[in-house]
Structure 1
Amino acid sequence: MAKPNAKGPSKTVDIYCANCRTKLFKYRKGGKGALVKCFIERIVKDHTEQQGVCPGCQQEFARATIIRGVPALKIIGGKVRHK
């Protein structure tokens, strides 16, 4: 399978914890759909200390995985919001 475009889209969204509303990161998201996965190389600004864990409430919101040969965070359904 083809790797995702490294540069990616220019539109950025802010990702927040759905539980405590802590800002998790700023991400270059493509398309209009739901946030299912976040490629690590597209994260512009990361506010988390531990990957996939909210710094505010210590709840796990994503799991580290490899998608199309590229490291990514697979988002757990309903754990994050984006604007």
Structure 2
Amino acid sequence: MAKPNSKAPAKSVDVFCSKCGAKLYRYKKGGKGALVKCFKERITEDYTNDLGVCPDCDSVFGRDTLVRGTPAIKMVGGKVRMK
């Protein structure tokens, strides 16, 4: 499998917790689909204390994984939303 593009996409999105609405990340997203995973190298601003855990309501929204050999956070369906 190929690695993700080394050049970050121009589009930035804000990632929020679906339960409490807390801001989690500012992320450079490529494509127009749903947010399934976040490559760690594309996260520009991180508002969380623990990896994959909301800082306000302590709900788990993602887990640490490797996608195509690159560290990423795999999102749990319905736990995050983006603008």
The TM-score with structure 1 as length reference comes to: 0.98
Query: Are residue 31 (structure 1) and residue 34 (structure 2) matched?
Result: no
Structure 1: runs of 5 or more not aligned: none
Count of paired positions: 83
SS at match of 2:41: helix
SS at match of 2:20: coil
Q: Where do 1:1-83 residues align within 5 Å? A: 1-83=1-83
Structure 2: runs of 5 or more not aligned: none
- In structure 1, give the amino acid aligned to 2:68: R
- In structure 1, give the amino acid aligned to 2:73: L
Percent identity between matched residues is: 60
Q: Indicate if the aligned counterparts of 1:7 and 1:42 stay in contact, CA closer than 8 A.
A: no
The TM-score with structure 2 as length reference comes to: 0.98
CA–CA separation in structure 1 for the residues paired with 2:19 and 2:32: 23
TM-fit CA distance, 1:7: 2.1
- The C-alpha deviation readout for 1:27-66, integer Å capped at 9, x for no partner, is 0001110000000000000000101000010000000000
4+ residue segments displaced more than 2 Å:
none
- In structure 1, give the amino acid aligned to 2:66: I
Compute the RMSD of aligned alpha carbons: 0.6
CA–CA separation in structure 2 for the residues paired with 1:33 and 1:66: 20
CA–CA separation in structure 2 for the residues paired with 1:8 and 1:79: 24
